[in-house]
């Protein structure tokens, strides 16, 4: 069976590199997904010139949607929301809202994207706040979904509960994990464990038959594969993810120093270099995989601001998968089901 | 000038290995610190037998203080506090409170130690809550002090402000860093940055001339050396530290797999192994350095539960340094000074 045609909007101007990395990614996606049409949002003149140079002008899967503004990485979210209505980011989101495309992908300013997506697309029924979710690697081999990575700073227990349901749906639909193990991120000590919100969320989850809740998990087990879905508030998730990046840098720096200080190791540096590179990619998931903004009435995938062509392409893949698995509808259905069961 | 004699109590029964790692550490400390007397708290019969076997019975720097109970790693803090008044942990803390020793060191149950220390020693004037602080490695080479690592889950802005002052004193006194750069751990987005407590703490710190406050820092900069002291609440600090452990494990696992899959790498495995080992030690600071419980009227150093002889010895060193630098008095003085300046 031939897959149905679908259309995705790309914010071409976002990220540190703009079209320099978004355009090669878009071009590569054409081959990989012959059933996907791409709407390139950005400066039409610039994009047309670049497409012409690359020999892709008038390609049947491509169209250009002009945007006279660009959201800068330094723009404050509220300012971007107010003053950048003609930006490539906003226009890509508007296309989702108008049902002209099935999803959008951006490597732009995360805060602005969250604020705009929330404003333009609105929340799904039953979801109070959006969450940023990404899949991380694990020592067990299978990916681990973690949310929220920074969309919602203060989460009450209902919000965390909704995040757990959404995370389970993502793990099932995107990775095909059946009855994914869901855990709450918490700190170590038995008694002083976490805040009241976390304790209440734990209670809500253990009473919910639709969720395969396995209890608390600590930071040292994020990557162990004990859980398929890890739930926390946006502040903690953001700090944890960024800390990973910091540790990875520290380890690589130490390894390099150790190698430099050893004569024999210097000789074999060529042997180690590719490992270092692959490790740093795999361990900085934020820099490699796209993160999805979920809980909204539409699909928004966020690629890292410093995204390379490969990272942006990986975010496009993620968007295609979420469209094909109809993730927002599945989240809405699951939440309704859970709420009926609870009532 | 000969250093003054000082006395330190050791909880010999704490940690996963008990006297198996605490006793060899104590014996090694005798040589390293000829001016330090050690009070070994624990099962007197067991300790005497072990000391006799090691040839250290009746050593002039050693005395044994019998304790009929042991706090288990699985004991709930409140239960330990109520029912384990004859434990080695409690007796070591009582000796500090009675001014019979200048500090105590334990590798036992962290939650129980915090609860007991708080109850027995009480808070310093001007400090509302205790904090667990440890020094972490950085790519810049200098250590970074981070607090709170799990003593106080919910921190208001006054508590976080006091943590900042205490952390600065530790960096100055223990590491000799003058005007240490103090930062608040926060998440990335400019506008939605952190909670109201963090924003208010930032305001308090920027108004305080006694603190060299450099603003917010993100998780990826914990190990960069940008800040000498990083302040956060106990929940976030605990998750961040444990996450480091998880990432380090993941990287080592990946490196091992990569090495196994490469023929040539297998040959040079012997070359890489020592690096892996040194990295994992340096990157799991929690497992290697002692953490200090500060803000109390006495010095309490916590060694990791899984502490080896080296780790417990390193915690004893930390205690000696804090006694010699009179850390609690310095914290009290600094806080009084800061509060007078503020008034």
Specify the CATH superfamily of domain A1-127+295-327: Isopropylmalate Dehydrogenase (3.40.718.10)
Q: Where are the domains of chain B?
A: 1-127+295-326
Residue A273 has pLDDT above 90, yes or no: no
B14's CB contacts (< 8 A; 6+ apart) are: B22, B70, B71, B88, B89, B106, B107, B108, B109, B113, B303, B305
Tell me the CA distances in angstroms from B137 to A247, B141, B146, B300, B311, one per residue in order: 10, 7, 11, 22, 15
Question: Residue A137: its chain B contacts at CB < 8 A?
Answer: 250
* End-to-end Cα, chain A, rounded Å: 41
Interface check for B156 against chain A (CB to CB < 8 A): the answer is no
Going by their DSSP bridges, the two strands A291-294 and A131-136 should be labelled as antiparallel
Contact B189 A278 (CB under 8 A): no
Interface of B with A in 45-64 (CB under 8 A): none
Instruction: Using alpha carbons, select from B116, B50, B51, B52 the residue that is nearest to residue B81.
Output: B116
Q: Given pLDDT bands bounded at 50, 70 and 90, which one contains residue A286?
A: very low
pLDDT at A90 over 60: yes
Q: Cβ of A219 under 8 Å from any chain B Cβ?
A: yes
Q: B199 CB near a chain A CB, below 8 Å?
A: no
Q: Could you check whether A1-127+295-327 and A134-284 share the same CATH topology?
A: yes
B10/B140: higher pLDDT:
B10
A307 three-class SS: coil
Indicate the pairing of strand B6-11 with strand A229-231: unpaired
Where do we find the tokens 């599945």? A330
Task: Measure in Å the smallest separation between the Cα of B7 and chain A Cα atoms.
Answer: 30
Q: Which CATH superfamily is domain A134-284 in?
A: Isopropylmalate Dehydrogenase (3.40.718.10)
Length of chain B: 343
DSSP-based helix, strand, coil % in chain A, nearest 5: 50, 15, 35
The whole-angstrom separation of Cα A213 and Cα A179 is 10
Q: Is the pLDDT of residue B328 over 80?
A: yes
Please indicate whether residue B299 or residue B342 has the higher confidence score (pLDDT).
Answer: B299
A139 inside 8 A of chain B by CB: yes
Its ipTM equals 0.85
A189–chain B nearest CA distance, Å: 6
Distances (CA, A) of A82 to A77, A91, A227, A300, A337: 9, 14, 40, 20, 37
Q: Which are the contacts of A273, defined by CB distance < 8 A and separation ≥ 6? A: none
Preferred mutation among A242, A257, A273, A305 to probe B, highest tally of B CBs within 10 A: A242
pLDDT in tens, A19-30: 999 999 999 999
Chain B residues within an 8 Å CB radius of A242: 187-188, 218-220
Query: With pLDDT > 90 as the criterion, what percentage of chain B qualifies?
Result: 66
- Taking contacts as CB-CB distances below 8 angstroms, the residues of chain A near B246 are 219-224
Mutate to test the interface with B, among A137, A139, A250 (most CBs of B within 10 A): A250
Partnered with residue B160 across adjacent β-strands are: none
- pLDDT above 70 for B273: no
Place of tokens 């690697």: A137
Contact check, Cβ <8 Å, A218/B249: no
The answer, yes or no, to whether residue B278 has pLDDT greater than 60, is no
- CA dihedral (A32, A35, A39, A44) positive or negative: positive
Cβ-based neighbour number of residue A253 at 10 Å: 16
Among A183, A197, A218, A251, most B C-beta atoms within 10 A, so best to mutate, is A251
- Let me know: does B107 contact B11? Beta carbons within 8 Å: yes
Residue B213 has pLDDT above 60, yes or no: yes
B240 touches A: beta carbon within 8 Å? yes
Provide the pLDDT for residue A263.
58
Out of A81-85, B271-275, B337-341, least confident range: B271-275
B189: nearest CA in chain A? A111
Mean pLDDT value of segment A57-69: 96
Q: Which of A308, A281, A222 is nearest to A25 (CA)?
A: A308
CATH number of B1-127+295-326: 3.40.718.10
Contact: A76, B150; criterion CB under 8 Å: no
């Amino acid at each position: 069976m031939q897959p149905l045609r679908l259309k995705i909007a790309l914010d071409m101007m976002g990220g540190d590199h703009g079209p320099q990395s978004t355009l090669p990614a878009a071009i590569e996606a054409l081959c990989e997904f012959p059933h996907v049409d791409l709407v390139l949002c950005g400066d039409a003149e610039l994009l047309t010139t670049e497409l012409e140079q690359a020999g892709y002008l008038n390609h049947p899967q491509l169209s250009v949607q002009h945007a006279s503004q660009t959201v800068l990485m330094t723009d404050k979210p509220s300012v971007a929301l107010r003053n950048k209505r003609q930006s490539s980011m906003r226009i890509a989101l508007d296309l989702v809202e108008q049902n002209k495309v099935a999803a959008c992908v951006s490597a732009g300013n995360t805060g602005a994207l969250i604020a705009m997506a929330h404003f333009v697309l609105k929340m799904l029924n039953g979801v109070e706040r959006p969450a940023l979710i990404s899949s991380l690697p694990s020592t067990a081999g299978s990916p681990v979904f973690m949310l929220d990575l920074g969309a919602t700073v203060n989460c009450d227990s209902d919000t965390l509960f909704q995040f757990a349901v959404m995370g389970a749906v993502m793990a099932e639909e995107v990775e095909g994990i059946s009855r994914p193990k869901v855990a709450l991120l918490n700190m170590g000590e038995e008694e002083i464990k976490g805040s009241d919100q976390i304790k209440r969320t734990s209670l809500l989850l253990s009473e919910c038959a639709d969720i395969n809740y396995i209890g608390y998990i600590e930071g040292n087990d994020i990557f162990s594969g004990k859980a398929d879905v890890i739930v926390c508030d946006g502040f903690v998730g953001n700090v944890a993810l960024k800390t990973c990046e910091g540790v990875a840098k520290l380890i690589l720096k130490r390894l390099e120093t150790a190698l430099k200080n050893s004569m024999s190791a210097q000789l074999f540096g060529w042997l180690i270099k590719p490992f270092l590179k692959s490790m740093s990619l795999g361990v900085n998931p934020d820099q490699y995989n796209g993160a999805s903004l979920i809980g909204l009435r539409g699909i928004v995938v966020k690629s890292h601001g410093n995204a390379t062509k490969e990272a942006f392409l990986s975010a496009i893949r993620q968007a295609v998968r979420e469209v094909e698995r109809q993730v927002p509808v599945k989240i809405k259905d699951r939440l309704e089901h859970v709420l009926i069961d609870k009532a």
